[in-house]
Amino acid sequence: MSVSRRISDAFLLTAIAGWLASGPNAAPAAELPRVVSMNLCTDQLLLLLADPDQILSLSRLATDPRSSSLAEQAKAYPRNSGRAEEIFLADPDLLLAGRYSDKATLEMLRAMGLRIEQFEITTSLDQIPAQIRDMGKVLEQQARAERIASEVERDLAAFQPLDDDAPVAAFYYPNGYSLGEGTLGSDIVTTAGFRNLTKELGMSGGGRLSLEQLVLEEPDILISTPRYPGGSRSEDIMFHPAITKYAEDQKLIFSSSDWVCGTPITLRAVNEVAQARATLVQQEQNQ
């Protein structure tokens, strides 16, 4: 895919601003469901699709920029701690939760008659349009959801299939944690034009990649996480020369909040990795 077909950061940020500021639903605000979200990923879909008056509160992680790509936008709304009493007293028409949100809390709220919609963890980019449409349906924002979902489908269709001889990327986080097949991170890198090392090695889901295996395989780029204040012993391995060399050679990508949840903003992560691939190809051509 040519660079001109990729989504630029400027274009994507403009699109996000447009989605957040887009006109209200045709239904009167009083008829739209009033919503509480207790999950980081449903927070972001809610912010992208709902009218402001629909949002009663978001999860406590909603304003953490390390976790949410819409942390600044989330500051305009109250946050909840996910407790059943707090959510019930907010008197929402609808509670948004994740598949693994606290089971006891959800059971208690269901017993009290609250409508709850749970959303699955996104494990591939092609799931995003369907989740947008599902969220639009429960929020009664179908027209807005369809517009955004269709844009995501068009953007994803512009990426070319992965080549058998494509360069290799490796996930390497503290404690040697890595991401294999069936994860959103893996789909991001393969859509952007890299083979995922741990997927090639047969890893499914998350698991540990040894430093020895990483050195032996010599991936073309490394995907890791920035170091945060405090630190821990699990991060010690990240200071190994085999790891720091990728930073020195400018072949290190830090995964950000854009990688966490399946939303239209995830395309920004795909674009970042695609740009890294284009740079790598250019460097090889210049050698």
Q: List, for residues 26-81, the tens digit of each pLDDT value.
A: 455 568 999 999 999 999 999 999 999 999 999 999 999 999 999 999 999 999 99
Enumerate residues 6+ apart whose C-beta is below 8 A from 69.
44, 256, 257, 258, 260, 261, 263, 265, 268
Element (H, E) at 106: helix 103-111
- 168-286: in CATH 3.60.110.10: no
The architecture of the domain spanning 3-156 is: 3-Layer(aba) Sandwich (3.40)
Both tokens of 105, joined, read 């809390």
68 within 8 A of 74, measured Cβ to Cβ? yes
The per-residue pLDDT for 1 is 35
Q: Which residues contact 89 (CB under 8 A, 6 or more apart)?
A: none
Would you call 87 exposed, middle or buried from its count of C-beta atoms within 10 A (0-12, 13-18, 19+)? buried
By CB atoms closer than 10 A (0-12, 13-18, 19+), residue 69 is buried
Beta bridge partners of 253: 223
Query: Assign residue 128 a region: left if phi > 0, alpha if psi is -120 to 50, beta otherwise?
Result: alpha
> H or E stretch including 138?
helix 128-139
* Span(s) in the chain for CATH 3.40.50.1980: 3-156, 168-286
Q: Rounded CA gap, 65 and 238, in Å?
A: 22
Alpha helix segments (H runs only) across 163-204: 184-191, 197-200
- Pairing relationship of beta strands 177-179 and 116-119 according to DSSP bridges: unpaired
Chain centroid to Cα 30, Å, comes to 31
Task: List, as own/partner pairs, every contact residues 158-163 make where C-beta atoms lie below 8 angstroms and the sequence separation is at least 24, other chains included.
Answer: 158/1, 158/5, 158/6, 159/1, 159/191, 159/192, 159/193, 159/270, 159/274, 160/1, 160/193, 162/190, 162/191, 162/193, 162/194, 162/195, 163/193
Distances (CA, A) of 20 to 105, 147, 236: 30, 13, 40
**For residue 184, how many C-alpha atoms fall within 13 Å in the half-sphere facing its CB?**
24
Name residues of the chain where pLDDT drops below 50. 1-8, 10-11, 24, 26
Distance CA 64, CA 70 (A): 9
DSSP state of 7: P
